[in-house]
Structure formats: structure tokens, C-alpha cells
Chains A and B, each alone.
Chain A
């Protein structure tokens, strides 16, 4: 990817984000419910309400509100949450790390599990086990994260209570964290009790988000590996006496990774979208969970901020995937 095309992508990204902001802004302003009505006491006079509306700028014309919001955004001022009465940026800053740690864990799990299943599937080609694995993989492809989350709740809640089902950290562990990155921080401080506890809390939501991703990766990578295994260079390596496992891992994998990567990127954005409901089910304190509360409370500034953050994440991932795919594509090296 040349510098110009990267620049073009970034310009497009800004345009898309602007569109996202506009859509959510207009959508929220046609809401019949008054967000201010929720935060005042029943004894408030109409004058009080008007004053409060003016305070949040809700009395201005729509276009003016939008441009004021944009102007503030440029100064990194995301406004103040109406329901939590704190800065939106600050709230997102506290919650986003939890979501990032969760999605990263799910991504790593999905790639590892999907990769192992794909390699095993290729090694077991033309055995009865292959059909079984393909069948199970097909089932897994059909199960969305929402159903996984609840199935896991059932499994761990009723049958086999080994992992915590809600939250991010046992309240009994009264560690004071300096950053909102609990996992990274406890790792950096070699506090193994905390690391274990944070990881235990991560297991359930990670599985719910990561299993659908693993299923997609397993299917795509296995197909790509199967195609690579009949290419001439693999045949040559086989004639040289390379073992089947090394053939798959050293020769085929390198050439099969490209198409899988692009799809993983798309699936990764779906997965980030999935955090909204999965965090809800496991009462995990990330921005997805906060987003649903914000919508229920009609907290306009907070919703706008969260949606923008999600949009930015999606766009950044897409650009990153394109860049990595370009780097991996041997045909582009000399272009």
C-alpha cells in the first residue's frame, strides 16, 4: 500500500466517522423521550427544566447542536454523561480497557483454537475423523455469541461451577489498580493472585466471543491449507522427505494465512460488536455493557461517545488488516 492510498483510506475513515456521528446524532434527537426528564426531581419547575436543557445545549437548533458537538470533539471534549454526571471521555477511558482486554483474549483464543483445529483437520484428511470434525465445525459456525454465552452460563452455572460468571475481579481482592488494564497491570506487578482471578473472570466471556471466531477461522484456514497442500512446492518438499506435520506448518501455512487473515479482520469487528451483549450477560464492566445502560437511560452524550469509539475501532481494525494483508501478499512486495 502506497503512502497516498494510506492517506486516502484515512480521509475516507474520517468521512465515515463523520457519517456515523451524524446518523447517531440525528437518530437520538428524534427520540420522543426527554433525556432531561430522567434526571430531575418531580418537584422541579418548568423553569428548572428549561435551565437544565440549556445547560446541556438541548434547546439549540439541531444543526447548531451538531456543529457544537463536532467542535468540542476536535478539542477532545466528548461532553458530560447525563445519567452518571461525569465526563464521557473519562468514563470511556475507564471502561474501554476492560473491553480491549476481553476482545484481545477472545481474538488470541479464536486464532489459536481455530488454527489448531484447521491444522489437525488437514492432517486428518480422508480419515473418518475429518467428517466428524467438519460436522462439529459446521454446528459451531451456526451458534452465535449470544447463544454461546447463555449455554456457558448454563454449563458453568449449574453443571460445573469452576469459573466466576459475572464481573471482572473478585470484590474480596481489594487491590488498588493504578490503570484500568487489570490484566496487564497485575502481570506487570507479578501479582499472581490477581492475574489468576482476572483470567478466571475472562474465561467465560472470552469463550462466548472466541468460539464463533474459532469456527470461522478453522473452516477458512482448513480450506486454504487443503488447497496449498496439493501445490507443487508442497509436493517438492514432500519428495525431499519432510514430515506431513512440518509440511503443513512450514510450507502450507505460510501461503494459506493470507485469505484467512482478511476474514479474521472482518470477524474481529463482528466480535467487537458482540461484546455489547456478551458483556451484558456476564455483567462484565466494559463499554458494551455501559452502552446498553446508556441507551436505557437515554444518556445522549454517553451514547454518542461510545458509538464513535466503536466506529473508530472498526475502522482502525479494517485499515490495519489491509496493511497486514498487503505486507503478507508476496505479489505486492515488488509492486
Chain B
């Protein structure tokens, strides 16, 4: 008995350590994850990193071009918008909103969707029928229209944007988690757990959930990319937080209007948006690849 007690924690540590290694061997995870960590650091330390105040207007400095172009003003590296606000500083502060929304909204959508997916895949029967019908109804709404509708109903603002994304995108999780739960529940280890006499609930939380978790983690990353875009779309339509606040979508919308006078107001936020979405996508696909036991074999 003593042997078992001593060796058990060691195996746990070993297993944890081993589970990280395939992640680091996946270049997509390393590069995209590295980029996103850097972006998160920029967002956290925005007040120290940003060269200017993102809200400060200076009409004397309006529509300045970025570095390397004629008329460039030192210190305004990526130029200024038509109100004289520094584009680089607004992008840096915009990362705060984009990352907050994506993290909170994706987690909420993941929580709702995973719970419903687990429940309908494990308990089946009526639970499954009701959840599946709900998913069908949800999938018949154009998501952009539904998000605009929800935010209009709740009133523009960060909270509304987050709740809208969670309400719309839980189906992405529930469909995949349900399928995965169904697949897992026919495997031998579940039959074994049932034979030992574990309760249904115990099997769901302690046996099935850990095996479904990798899928959920990969989906979370993909969903964060989607949330960044939805937030940008809602800012673009004018339904996110106030137009003064630096959001990438708001900057893009403004850039669309002054396109012919100052292209840089559109280009730089759009490139940032694209790079961020791409990173979340690569990270999600890389995670799915690295964590999927079938793919690893």
C-alpha cells in the first residue's frame, strides 16, 4: 500500500508534464500562442506602452500619415485619424477591449454550450431532443443579424456585446461536445466504470469530461477569434461601446469613412484584427491537432 501512496503523485506530475510536450512540438501552438501572449501583455501594460493618450484629440495633428510617408510627425508612428488621435495608441488600447470581450464571451459560450452538449450527449432522451431542437432554431438565425438584434434589445455596450456572443455561439460548442460525448460514452472505459458501479453523474464529470476537455479547449480558441470579429462588426455598425472608446471595429468603421484621405486609419486596425483572428485560428487548430489522442496516435 505504501508503494502506491508514494508513486501515485509522481505519475500525476509525470502525466501533466508529458501532456505539455506535444503542445510545444506543434509550431502553430508555439507561434500563434506566443503572438497572443505578447498581445495580451501589450493590452495589460497599454498605459505604459502606448506612446500617446488614445482619447486625446489634437486637430493641429489631424490626419498625419504613418512613419516613412511625407508629412510624418515624429512620435505618431502609425499616423493619426481625422481628429488627431494617435492610431498606434488606439490600436494598443483597443487590444484591451478585443481581448476582454473574446475571453469572457468565449468562456461563457463555452460554458453554456459544453454543459448542454454534455447533458444531451450523456442523458439523451428528452434532454437531447430539446437541446437539438433549440440548436436547430438557433442555426436558422443569421448570426450577425441576431447579434445586432440582441445588442439593440439590451442597449449598446460591452456587456451586451459579451452576452450576445455567448447567447449566439453556444451552439458551436454544444454540437461538437454532444457528438464527442456520444462517441466517448460507447467506449470501453465507460462500460468499465458502469460495471464498477460509479453513478451516472460521477462518470460524466470524472470520466467523460476529462476526455472531452481537449475538444472544448480547441473550440475555445476558435471561438475567441470569432468573438473578436463579432465585436468588431458590432462596433462597425455602431452598437458596441461608445464611438470615442478605442475599439478595432470602431477604428475600422472610421477608416472606411476617411478612406480616400487617410488610408492608414483603416489599414493598421484591419491588419491587427486579421493577425489576431489568424492567431486564434492557428492556435485552435494546432491545439486540436496536438491534444486529439486519435491524431497523436
Contacts and interface: CB of A to CB of B under 8 A. Distances in A.
B288 to A, nearest CB: 14
A273 B230 CA distance: 13
Given A16-B136, A20-B137, A150 B256 contact: yes
Contacts of A291: 145, 148
Contact of A154 (B155, B267, B277): B267
B179 to A, nearest CB: 15
A130 to B, nearest CB: 18
A269 B143 CA distance: 10
Nearest to A310: B142
A267 to B, nearest CB: 13
Given A141-B281, A288-B145, A315 B140 contact: yes
Given A144-B277, A157-B260, A277-B233, A310 B137 contact: no
B281 A27 contact: no
Nearest to A29: B153
A146 B232 CA distance: 9
B154 to A, nearest CB: 9
A129 interface: no
Contact of B281 (A15, A17, A142, A307): A142
Contacts of A27: 149-150, 153
Interface residues of A, number: 48
A280 B259 contact: no
A151 interface: yes
A281 B229 CA distance: 14
Size band of the B side of the interface? Answer: 35 or more
Contacts of A296: 152, 237
Given A16-B140, A144-B277, A298 B229 contact: no
Contacts, number: 118
Contacts of B83: none
Contact of B153 (A16, A30, A142, A280): A30
B220 to A, nearest CB: 16
A144 to B, nearest CB: 5
Between A16, A30, A146, A280, the greatest number of chain B beta carbons within 10 A of the residue's beta carbon is seen for A146
Given A141-B281, A292-B237, A158 B259 contact: yes
Contacts of B260: 157-158
Contact of B229 (A12, A144, A292): A144
A272 B145 CA distance: 11
B149 A153 contact: no
A49 interface: no
Nearest to B270: A150
Contacts of B266: 150, 153-154
A147 B274 contact: yes
Nearest to A12: B136
Interface string A4-16: 0000000010011
A317 to B, nearest CB: 10
Contacts of A269: 139
B170 interface: no
A143 interface: yes
Interface in A286-327: 288, 291-292, 295-296, 298, 303, 306-307, 310-311, 314-315
A188 interface: no
B273 interface: yes
B152 A295 contact: yes
29 contacts: A16-B133, A16-B136, A19-B136, A27-B150, A27-B153, A28-B153, A139-B278, A142-B281, A143-B278, A144-B229, A147-B274, A150-B256, A150-B270, A158-B263, A269-B139, A273-B141, A273-B144, A273-B145, A277-B233, A280-B236, A291-B148, A292-B237, A295-B149, A296-B152, A307-B141, A307-B149, A310-B145, A311-B140, A314-B140
